[in-house]
Structure 1
């Protein structure tokens, strides 16, 4: 066959394949979604716009300015592992060049992948520099569906008392993803648990305190920032308290440890727990949410559900980042452990009977009935197909 004809046939074939995967697009003010159908493109773009507005209100207290160029979103829908990847560039205090890819079932894209990825853009817009891995991924996971959060809880339970657990002194220093995928997944689980712990500790101001804490840590170091914002005298003291809290089953930080010691479990949120666990079993192919620009194909992983982010330094000084709150009302935490307990490795949660990890009960959470939003932001109603 003539070489020109072969090239022409190949071009037509690739065009048809591309059209079948991204056959339609829908644009909002800050996003342009390309998806197999116009309806899916519209849903994803509107969902991303909602989360951009609402997450900015929750973290920053005000909406973000409109981006100079909308962020493209490539949408791949199917019975595949849910995952996403977002890229952007930092250059002399500016952030731009947004690009996002999401995949999975439509339901999981809307209620987990999109909010996770959009949260990365909120943090990038606010800090205008790379954010520590544990904090960036942990904060993004706060807005995933409860079944996705449950996966992190179960993984952390598996590694907490093993050599696979990453000590906090090491976790805080991680700038690049570990080469071992098991360590990557542990980083996600520990980052989520630590972020949840710190944000919950400060109640309604938890998100704002967390952002200020990260800024101060960048300038003054972790120990001084923990002391200033959370009252911990050392990372060792924090680790003792945090680990004891995880072992105790993630009790509400407004719960008096004496109450737990007496055998009264903290109140557990019950948002469709049986449905969530069933949903976990129904999704065998899982992916990691990420920031990795090298592979264009989001490859399903054997055990877990995320996609990774790795920064890529360029010769011109720019940094291209490939990617990718909890709103609870809690009272001030009980007093910290005594110095004697810290030195002995005991936490104030020691000796309490373990309870089942409580699912988060955010006021803002995607559900089959839509997203109950805060009064300062818009309201996005999920399509009828999800009801």
Structure 2
């Protein structure tokens, strides 16, 4: 079975994002025959941007489609590509579409270089903990495939890179329109010694980015069988590795036990890793229920009721201190109060400003939250699974914010 890789693309208007996506779909033969017939532009040339322009127009009209998802495959792996809107007014949509990505592709127009939106997109990708960032310098054909222009853009971006937490950044010069360095190596840029974009993506193994150190197993369902006294705790491994014989704690109660077995429908396992869904049986009859989290007994996990987090606000009605919401985290939903708004991120300059009175639509700010029940939450930078949450308006049931834990 091929490994799935989740991609998110971002770029300024007319950076060629639609054409790049079309090129990837076209060259990976992921276009249906009727779609191919609609790609003829002026003078009979292929207009690959038409594959996504329809969705872009819908987005501009303010109707349902905010993030366009594309699915394609190569002989080596499957891909899910989230085409996220790049304008500042769609910050919430970019956060939503890119939140689960393994790789962010930020397009830069070679004629314009690193601009404000380039920095903002890269910063949001880093804020979301996306482990791999590709800076695709597009439209190299319009600057004569100049190595000097490409090197200048790399230098400008590297001057900004110190503000990012992205561990892996790659720079690839491309022409999405002509296909240079998208799938095949470009003969027009012999000075570029790296891999084309698709080959670079094929070499990334998302399994290498998993947290296999800190066991976090949120209980989703307690399975009981009266006939043979079976009791198991079903769920998906969020991080770490769980094996029979491991001594574990159940949080928030703190009760300890030993893993008796790790089971699936197909039989027992010697170990389970993210994102496997399994049933864990314990040696002792302990009191655990949905929302509890199984961790290693000797780990430093703790259940807390107060935490700081960066939130992106999705709602028209602003977030203010003292407001109450529902917080969905892992397998539980709890009541939460916004104790304080610590600061507001300026998405233009990437500076953090003094505490505002509220967060408005598309704002990103750091807040202090207090929950009614304890949560087993980790800083998002170290554990994307347990560091992420959403806020829900308990009256309308609307999702009003996405959050990333910064500290507990």
> When you count strand as a share of all residues, which structure comes out higher?
2
> When you count helix as a share of all residues, which structure comes out higher?
1
Structure number with larger C-alpha Rg: 2
TM superposition score normalised by structure 2: 0.23
Task: Pick 1 or 2: higher relative contact order, CA cutoff 8 A, min separation 6.
Answer: 1
TM superposition score normalised by structure 1: 0.24
